[in-house]
Structure 1
Amino acid sequence: MTAKAPQNVSLYKRYLKRQLNLFYLSLTFFTRIPAPKNMYYSPSLLNKSGRYFPLIGLLIAGILSIIFTVISPLFPVSITVTLLIIISLFITGAFHEDGLADMADGIGGGMTLEKRLTIMKDSRIGTYGAATLLMALVLKLLLLIELVEVNALIPSLFLGYSLSRAVAASLIYDLPYVADIDTSKSKPLANKQSPFELKLLFIIGLIPAIFFSLTTLLFIGLTLFIFRMLFKAWLIKRLGGYTGDCLGACQQISELLIYLVIIACLTPNLSV
């Protein structure tokens, strides 16, 4: 028994080191935050790192919450929230917003599957993408301002940034990948998820649920369940599966839906 103890500790340490490495890989893929240089990379490991996508959301929400606490006494609410959105875009490199715009251009402007995929790979932004991105950012600005007014911004950021990423990444589990894997920027995420990874996504994504009432969480869960079901069916009809841009679009829409439901539940008309 005593001989096994050091061996078990060693295995546990190696497991933690491996998981930390996966987190660092996820950090470098989804944000511009630097990671340790001794991080080990391989395509298979980068694929597995997607399990920590919601954890990246929690990290970004934590950074934004600290910044909000520091600058909110200095500026009006509208300016403070605008700065938060700009900082968020800088941290992520507008990675998910780019996906939303590209998906809108591709599905809105392409009449065939091949044309849609070609448009989505084009780095230029079109009318559909520009309009969709503008409306999404304006709506996010208005929603975050309202969340400040009802004293719910920080917990909403944590839930919005983590759970929306869990919903987006979960599409990998039960949708086929349709883009050209050799040229796609989301190639590392093209493989299927395991049931363990799917569960881990939502376990991490729901950590901020402790800040909300059960009724609010039920409304959020129902809304996201319906959205994911409809979005999945729509992607199958229009593309036959998902691309990396579709995951970014799903994250952005899910985040906005979470804020909308929270605000709806905090209005005087609903006692939750």
Structure 2
Amino acid sequence: MMFTDVVTSEKSWLPLHSAPMTIPSHTPSSNRPFFQQEWRSFLLAIGFFTRIPVPDLPDFQEQELNLAAKYFPLVGIMVGAFAALVYMLASTVLPQDIAVLLSMVATLLLTGAFHEDGLTDAVDGLGGGWEKEQVLHIMQDSRIGSYGAVSIIMALLLKFTALTHFSPLLVPAVLVAGHSVSRFCAVLVMATQRYVKYAGKAKPLATVMPLTHLGIAAVPGLLPLLWLESSWYLGLLPVVAVWVWFSLVIKKRIGGYTGDCLGAMQQLTEIAFYLGVLACVAI
């Protein structure tokens, strides 16, 4: 579930962070000064993708959530930095595997398992449905099925195992880069495919992402890679492979993406990044 799902979802994010925002039928965001609107968009990205409290934003409009998409990778840096901080503090007194596990728990608490939820819903839908509407209907179901249960167990296990095999000093940089790169991969899906919604629900918001927004997202999405050895950039090949594969799957099965598909893409490419870099380090 991502930006566009907030229109009809029973898992609305607003009550988690602040008092309900008023949604008027006027005052378009374009009337606000540029820097004021960008600051609002950044706060919306924080409030939507994490459980960090944000100030109440008057005259909130749902369309602003689409403007906030470009800050998705920047929020990823924040989440990764928090995980790295927890890891570094825990590793001073605890074994590395326990420190890694605590860093993972920290990200789950910080994000409310937002993307993990998307992964389980997407896998349940794609695994249990045949026709497009059936796939989308299963994704809308808040209950978790066998496909989703297996996927989340394997995803968490792969993350934990991969991170424990890195050098202790390398883990913080890998965490930050993994969270930022994987969220940029989700933004790339928004820029290359159309949003689809179950026919029985309300009409979704427009989700066409301008190239300028994609460029803004690319900066924080890729910048943490500079902390890694350039020879390890080959570790991005699995990320590209997973991105292409899953993009083709959702394109073929449902004709585009849903918010759950974006969450699944983030999780899958994060795991691919850890495994790819780990393979480079081992060479």
Q: Smaller-chain TM-score range?
A: 0.7 to 0.9
**Bigger CA radius of gyration:** 1
CA distances 1:56-75 after superposition (whole Å, capped 9, x unpaired): 01111111222222221222
Following the alignment from structure 2 to structure 1, what is the Cα–Cα distance between the partners of residues 200 and 69? 19
- Does structure 1 conserve the Cα–Cα contact (< 8 Å) formed by 2:235 and 2:275? no
Higher helix share: 1
2:120 equivalent in structure 1: 101
Which one of the candidate residues 152, 159, 168 is aligned to 1:133? Answer: 152
Q: Distance in 2 between matches of 1:205 and 1:121?
A: 29
| CA deviation after TM superposition for structure 1 residue 200, in Å | 1.6
Query: Match for residue 28 of structure 2?
Result: none
- CA displacement 1:100-159 (0-9 Å, x = unmatched): 101111110112211111110000000000001100001111111112x35310110111
- Tell me whether 1:30 sits opposite 2:49 in the alignment: yes
In 2, Cα distance between equivalents of 1:35 and 1:112: 40
Q: Is the 8 A contact 2:124 2:145 kept in 1?
A: yes
Identity %, equivalent residues: 35
Partner of 1:3: none
Aligned to 2:170: 152
Say whether the 8 Å CA contact 2:90–2:102 is kept in structure 1: no
The aligned runs of 1:46-195 (5 Å cut-off) are: 46-147=65-166, 149=167, 151-180=169-198, 183=201, 187=204, 191-195=207-211
Q: CA deviation at 1:181?
A: 8.2
Q: What residue number does 2:277 align with?
A: 262
Distance 2:200 2:134 in 1: 18
Q: State the partner residue of 1:196.
A: 212
Report the RMSD for the aligned CA atoms in angstroms.
2.0
Is the aligned partner of 1:238 residue 2:256?
A: no
* Correspondence for 1:8: none
Q: CA deviation at 1:203?
A: 1.6
- Gaps of at least 5 residues in structure 2 are 1-31
Residue 197 and residue 153 in structure 1: after superposition, are their counterparts in 2 closer, same or farther (change >3 A)?
A: same
Aligned to 1:214: 230
**So what's the TM-score if we normalise by structure 2?**
0.83
Secondary structure of 1:43's aligned partner: coil
Structure 1: how far apart are the matches of 2:207 and 2:33?
Answer: 25
Calculate the TM-score normalised by the size of structure 1: 0.87
CA shift digits 1:61-99 (9 cap, x unpaired): 111222222221222222211111111111111110001
The residue number in structure 1 matching 2:63 is: 44
